[in-house]
Structure 1
């Protein structure tokens, strides 16, 4: 799609860049921040689980990014 056709649909010009993903990294950072806040608050179980989820999401993001760059 061209920028003109996106503007006609009412979509911002940056939509094609965001449409490809980035959700994994975003949620990885969200879970990392949640782990830090939970750790500071003393909720060690929530902090540990959040850190594990964050680590998994970031690793999946990195693997998919490397595969995408190689293809």
Structure 2
């Protein structure tokens, strides 16, 4: 999932530099959503609510 976050952030940066602001915004929003999901899962694992087996 971290791979997808990095890919979306690179796409957002390149699209922003090339002037595709709508695409850059969409990619950045997708990256933000994935970052939020990763943080929530990390906190759940950290506090032992979800056990990864």
Report the TM range for the smaller structure's normalisation: 0.7 to 0.9
Q: Normalised by the size of structure 1, how large is the TM-score?
A: 0.64
4+ aligned runs moved over 6 Å, structure 1 = none
Consecutive unaligned residues in structure 2, runs of 5 or more:
49-53
Mapping 1:7-46, distance limit 5 Å: 24-46=1-23
Distance (whole Å) between structure 1 residues aligned to residue 3 and residue 46 of structure 2: 19
How many residue pairs get aligned? The number is: 48
Larger radius of gyration: 1
Q: Normalised by the size of structure 2, how large is the TM-score?
A: 0.84
Cα RMSD of the aligned pairs, angstroms, is 0.7
The higher-RCO structure (CA 8 Å, 6+ apart) is 2
